[in-house]
Amino acid sequence: MENRIYNFSAGPAVLPEEVLLEAQKDLFALPGVGMSILEISHRSKTYDAIHQEAKEGLKKLLDIPDDYAILFLQGGASLQFSMVPLNLMPPKNKADYIIHGSWGKKALKEAKRVGTINIAATTEADKFKRVPTQDELKLDPDTSYVHFTSNETIEGVQWHKEPEVGNIPLVCDASSDMLHKKIDVKKYGLIYAGAQKNMGPSGVVLVIIRKDLLERSQDSLHTMLNYKIHAENDSLYNTPNTFGIYIIKLVTKWLLGLGGLDEMYKINKKKAQLLYDCIDQSGGFYKGHAEKDSRSLMNVTFNLATEELEKKLIDEATKAGFSGLKGHRSVGGLRASIYNAFPLKGVEALVDFMRDFQKRNG
């Protein structure tokens, strides 16, 4: 197939075309190496350069201070749901969790296996249509850390400013909006993010952890679950996902070439505004799930009047070259994931399609 369709999948998600083409060009043999990135040893000088360039790209994009470690791990965010409490909850064995969607609930479930959890706030009674307000947070001043999910892909709800938690380490699952804008890393104790939304392919999870928190990782932990071990070995205790990290290196280069995360944020806001305007101006034909001040720039969730009409739109959209618009199986509806690499022209094409669909079915 010569022509690429528009991929609205929530993840694994669209990658920059420039990155795909560069990876394709060098896939058979890296220049000057004579081997594919899929074949080289993770202990080789060639791979070490790739590994360090990926880290340096992230440091430049996010201004990551030297007192933070950058780790490339495996198991996705789902394993981090366990690793975070196993490493950071001792010795107090309690933590605060802020819940505003399905992934936060999954993180909460695993944390409860480790220690005592205080639900600092939840918007489940509001069907996860918004993030909690600062006034709603009931934080335990003696807690080990405060955990939140920056962007909930299923419900399409996003924090646009991180919660204020004082001197308590703030832990963030940023899997679905990492690198969509500049954040102040110094406000966080730990950030983790699966790569398959904005950074690369599935199979890599990025962890950025303040180095003093590594001292909480106890020697009694299983080796592969210990942040301190991974930091001491520069994520090379075992064979990492070398290809995934190579793609992360290319993605950071692409973002820096665009002008960095401030420029990426401008583009993301423009894309999301186009789609939300289409929904808001439809006279109720399209109904957004999230409240306006909590709307995600990455995952636009909405419904039509009936499931039959939603199915019709999805079927017609698929035939027209728009893939991945079906909402998550747990909530239904529709979802357009417009991550960093999703092109502006693709959002414009979807808006044209949606307006035409409304004229024919409204």
Catalytic residue among 55, 96, 103, 129: 103
Catalytic residue among 96, 129, 159, 173: 173
pLDDT tens digit sequence for 330-362: 788 999 999 999 999 999 999 999 999 999 998
Q: How many helices (H) and strands (E) in the chain?
A: 9, 14
pLDDT at 1 (0 to 100): 43
Residue 356 annotated to the active site: no
| H helix or E strand, kind and range, residue 261 | helix 261-280
Residue 219 annotated to the active site: no
Short-list 309, 321, 326, 324, CA closest to 349? 321
All structural domains of the chain: 18-258 (3.40.640.10), 260-361 (3.90.1150.10)
CA 339/CA 321 separation, integer angstroms: 18
Catalytic residue among 55, 129, 177, 197: 197
pLDDT tens digit sequence for 41-81: 999 999 999 999 999 999 999 999 999 999 999 999 999 99
Short-list 350, 358, 276, 273, CA closest to 310? 358
| % the chain with pLDDT above 90 | 98
pLDDT tens digit sequence for 285-325: 999 999 999 999 999 999 999 999 999 999 999 999 999 99
Average pLDDT, the chain: 97
Q: How confident is the model at residue 273 (pLDDT cuts 50, 70, 90)?
A: very high
Contacts of 53 (CB under 8 A, 6+ apart): 249, 252
Residue 205, both tokens: 């999870």
Residue 277 annotated to the active site: no
CA 278/CA 289 separation, integer angstroms: 14
